[in-house]
Structure 1
Amino acid sequence: MNSRRKDGIDPVTRARARRRALQAVYAWQVSGGNAQQVIAQFAHEQAHEVADLEYFEDLVRGVLAHCAELDADLAEYLDRTVEEVDPVERAVLRIATYELRHRLDVPYRVVLNEAVEIAKRFGSEHGHTYVNGVLDRAAMQWRPAETGARAG
């Protein structure tokens, strides 16, 4: 069965791209490097996993290029410094923040749901709850047109 939507986006390959981007951003947080090195490290596996390679690259390049801005945006919603957030949850939050701020074509609910699912899969036991709380509050400020019904 083809899961591709009318707009040509396949949610399954996008979800795989996000999971692979999490691994790439996490690796970058641990060992550094530039976007091209990080992408090259994961692109081979990405191709075999049938993921949205273009979206994966956009997420990784976007997070690495805008990391300071993303961290500053997140800081208001965290109960600790960005550096004190668990590394997996930090990577999830950075990717989701990039999507919320720079990928307005992706509905905020999709961003939040995907971030929570990835945090459940890869993060600490209650990490998904933390990720959900941070992103839910942030989305109300960053995407008021989409969240207006909930915020009112």
Structure 2
Amino acid sequence: MNNPSTPNARRRARRFTLQALYQWQLAGAAVSDIEAQFLANQDFASTDRQYFHELLHGVTARVSELDGLLSPMLDRRVEELSQVEKAILRLGAYELKERLDVPYRVVINEGIELAKVFGAEESFKYVNGVLDKLARQVRYAEAAEKRPRD
């Protein structure tokens, strides 16, 4: 069994969180019910369950705050995003703001990978652009020191 804090275990946690957020956005069911359903029906053997719990509850508890952070970075209203893009961007915004232990480039890359799997054909480019702009604002010092000189 994998160590629950490995990159792959966190990647699986993000994937399940995206799916749970998607369901929450569409159905509006209680987060605890969605979480229980995922834990019962998915293979969590190599997934960081604690990270899944934190991401799912953190994003849903702060959805208004996260949407407020994302809004200035978007070319349309949050409500006009596809459900997949909205869930990925909310997840990325949460990690950028709340999980400073996760490098911003990892957050952006994970969002891109989720968009490639679950999003529309070119949505990964949109996710990349939005999360990159948000990282420059939320993690200014980290992003500035790693940005190549032009």
Which residue number in structure 2 is paired with residue 99 of structure 1? 95
Q: 1:41: Cα distance to partner?
A: 1.5
What's the % identity of the aligned pairs? 50
Please state how far the C-alpha of 1:46 moved relative to its aligned partner: 4.1
Aligned to 2:121: 125
Point out where structure 2 has 5 or more consecutive residues left out of the alignment. none
- The letter for the 2-side match of 1:125 is E
Q: Which amino acid aligns with 1:102?
A: E
> Over aligned residue pairs, what C-alpha RMSD do you find?
1.8
Structure 2-normalised TM-score?
0.92
Count of matched residue pairs: 148
Q: Which residue in 2 is equivalent to 1:139?
A: 135
Return the alpha-carbon distance in structure 1 between the equivalents of residues 21 and 112 of structure 2.
16
Asked if 1:37 is matched to 2:33, the reply is yes
Alpha-carbon offset, residue 49 of structure 1: 4.8
3-state SS of the aligned residue for 2:133? helix
Mark the runs of 5 or more structure 1 residues left unpaired by the alignment. Answer: none
How far apart are residue 44 of structure 1 and its match? 2.0
SS of match in other structure, 1:60 = helix
3-state DSSP of counterpart to 2:73? coil
Aligned equivalents of 1:55, 1:14: Cα separation in 2: 7
Q: Are residue 25 (structure 1) and residue 21 (structure 2) matched? A: yes
State the Cα deviation string for residues 100-147 of structure 1 (Å, max 9, x = none): 011111110110000000000000000100000000011001101211
CA distance in 2, matches of 1:40, 1:79: 35
Residue in 2 aligned with 1:116?
A: 112
Q: Tell me which residue corresponds to 2:7.
A: 11
